[in-house]
Structure 1
């Protein structure tokens, strides 16, 4: 469902219904549902099957948050491993190395948002249905998301 590249302006008013997204992306086993996009913030819901995750990375210009809707996320936050479950809010200030994984046998769902929006929605457009992880890392760097080298985080 990636199509025309997203151009962000002021945040539009309105409601994104439960179980829907204004755009849907499939990125390395995850499904991302865009909930809201504007210049100042970008929000998306994730559906994460067991065994999926996003390796350690940094957003140098964006604060990121997760509100856990379902399941338990295993998180790497600046050198420490922890977990977050339904109702928990995870705060990841810009520049903080972080990662999230679903290491359970159940699905996980979370509402993620970043501020400012940056180029994350445009990155998801580029990553939609892309299977090459090296290309994911390369494209991410072009969109202000920097992945840490493999093996640089113990337990990742």
Structure 2
């Protein structure tokens, strides 16, 4: 409800066109109705599209069946937040290393190198958010075109095209 501009004691109902609509995305489904995998091995689903938030954020749910993760990289313009739903992960952010279990979360600030890896022997699942969204949704669209983790000479220009920089190899998984 909004206060009337004509009299402070009179309330009026806001038009439904003034209120953003909520969107429910069922478990296992993608906001855009797609089924896809990053580098052909990490299924993910967009839960909040950059278009849903006016570019303010992008939220994905990513499943990991294989141990390991992406190369150490940084985002020039995005903070990246990780929330572990299932599995055991190690996330290195700057000089710190965190072991995350279900229910744990950590923030990787923009311009700070980071990498993560599924280290447990069971599959894992994380919710990952980016603020602001930047071109991350476009990056994931491009990454689904690749089959397998790209070699460094392919990864560097791909990451750079979307505002990121590859600064090292993936985390070693013992």
TM tier, smaller? 0.7 to 0.9
Q: Deviation per CA, 1:74-132: give whole Å up to 9, x if none.
A: 11111232211111111111111111101221111010000100001101111114034
* Of 12, 18, 29, the match for 2:27: 18
2:122 matches 1:106? yes
2:38 matched residue in structure 1 = 27
2:91 matches 1:75? yes
Cα separation, 1, equivalents of 2:158 and 2:110: 19
Alpha-carbon deviation of 1:12? 6.1
Q: Deviation per CA, 1:50-92: give whole Å up to 9, x if none.
A: 3231121101100110111001111111123221111111111
CA contact (8 A) 1:50 1:102 kept: yes
Cα separation, 1, equivalents of 2:45 and 2:21: 17
Structure 2's unaligned 5+ residue stretches are 1-19
CA contact (8 A) 2:85 2:125 kept: yes
Structure 1's unaligned 5+ residue stretches are 1-10
Shift in alpha-carbon separation, 1:154–1:128, aligned structure 2, 3 A:
closer
Structure 1, 57-66 or 79-88: larger mean CA deviation: 79-88
2:161 matches 1:142? yes
Cα separation, 1, equivalents of 2:82 and 2:38: 18
1:140 is paired with a residue whose SS is helix
2:94 matches 1:85? no
Cα separation, 1, equivalents of 2:171 and 2:84: 24
State the TM-score, normalized to the length of structure 2.
0.75
Q: Deviation per CA, 1:6-33: give whole Å up to 9, x if none.
A: xxxxx86311111111234311321111
